[in-house]
Amino acid sequence: MEPFYFGDNKELFGIYHAAEGMPKKHAVVVAAPLLNEYMRAHFALRRISLTLAQSGFDVLRFDYTGMGNSKGSLENTLPDRWVDDISDAVQEISDISGNTTVSIIAVRFAAHLAASVTHQRNIEQLVMWDPILEGRLWLQSLRRARPMGTTNFSEYLLVKEREFMGHLTCPSFVTNIGSRPRIPIRTKKNYAVITETRQIQGPPTDVAQRVDLVSFYCGWEDLSSQVLYPHEVIDSICAAIS
């Protein structure tokens, strides 16, 4: 495991898992979900990365601008920046590994962001976990997000209109996200593992070429700190990449 900062201004934090044994055909970028979902999915995404590296894939996990260990604050970050972050991560893993063919694992709204990247770069495969492919659907989800139990401190929100899941976003966040339409995925292969169908319009088979419906409650809209460890999702994603 190699932690480091990358990008033009060394502002993005990433962790590189080098392939063990014979490298496979492509490298993998892990595009985590955003806001509170990032924290909850970290454990599972790390496990996926370790498993893929043991199977011979070069893997790069990273934190988006304004999140995790990356520089900046959410309040000063336009969502457009996150598309560039994924694109930068694809370039970085190509440079590190020598693999010019890259697949992306994307969770929740990162699937929409990654779909944009498939129009900028040659992406082998997009593997998605509970994908949200349209901005307004994510906004609806964020507005539904509520604390577990009876504690609700919404009266203390600094700027109610743009504080979501405990994070204060930039002034144009709502407009920016809300105006993002569904973008066609331009990859040879794409796959989705779905635990919740609330953010899908139409049948699940419209989401990707192959879809795996898994019975596991992620509770993405519960404003909780509960770490997710969905074995079935992890196995499904690793199998799809392999």
Partner 1 sequence: MCSNIVESAPVLLGTSQSLFGMRTMPQDCVTSVGVVILNAGLLHHVGPFRLHVEIANQLAELGFASLRLDQSGKGESPRRPGRSRNESLLLDYDDVRSHFAGLGIDKTVLIGLCSGADDALFIASQRDSIAGLILLDGYASKNAGYRLRYYANRIFRIGPWLRAIRRFASARVYAPEINFRDWESGTDMLRRFADVLDGGTRVLSVFTAGQNYYNHLGQLESELPASCNTAHLEEVYFRKVDHTYNVTYHRLRLLETIAAWVRQNFSD
The footprint of partner 1 on this chain (CB under 8 A) covers a number of residues equal to 29
- Find the shortest distance in angstroms from Cβ 107 to partner 1: 16
Tokens of 10: 């060394």
Q: Going by C-beta distance under 8 Å and a sequence separation of 6 or more, which residues neighbour residue 192? A: 111, 127, 128, 129, 131, 204, 207, 208, 210, 211, 212
- Complex with partner 1: residue 49 or 116, whichever CB lies closer: 49
Mask for 153-182, x = binds partner 1 (CB under 8 A): x--xxx----x-xxxx--------------
Of residues 62, 57, 63, the one with CA closest to residue 28: 57
As measured in angstroms, the least distance from the Cβ of 93 to partner 1 is: 18
Is residue 204 within 8 Å of residue 197, measured between CB atoms?
A: yes
Residues 30-59 that bind partner 1 (CB under 8 A): 36, 39, 42-43, 46
Best CA proximity match to 92, nearest among 25, 11, 22, 24: 11
Q: Is 18 in the site for partner 1 (CB under 8 A)?
A: no
Asked if 208 is part of the footprint of partner 1 (rule: CB under 8 A), the reply reads no
Residue 150 CA from chain centroid, whole number: 29
Residue ranges binding partner 1 (CB under 8 A) = 1, 3-5, 13, 15, 36, 39, 42-43, 46, 63, 67-69, 147, 151, 153, 156-158, 163, 165-168, 223, 225, 227
